[in-house]
Structure 1
Amino acid sequence: MNIEALCADLEQHGAVYWHTTRPNFKRVQDLVDEQGPAFLPLCARPGGDFLNFMIRSDLVDGGLESIEKRVAQAIGRWQGAGEPVPHNEPI
Structure 2
Amino acid sequence: MVAWIRDFSNTYQSKTGRYPIIYTTTDWWKTCTGNNAGFGTTNPLWIARYASAIGTLPAGWSYYADSGPNPGDQNIFNGDSAGLKRMATG
Which structure carries more helix by proportion?
Answer: 1
Which structure carries more strand by proportion?
Answer: 1
Larger radius of gyration: 2
TM-score by length of 2: 0.32
TM-score by length of 1: 0.32
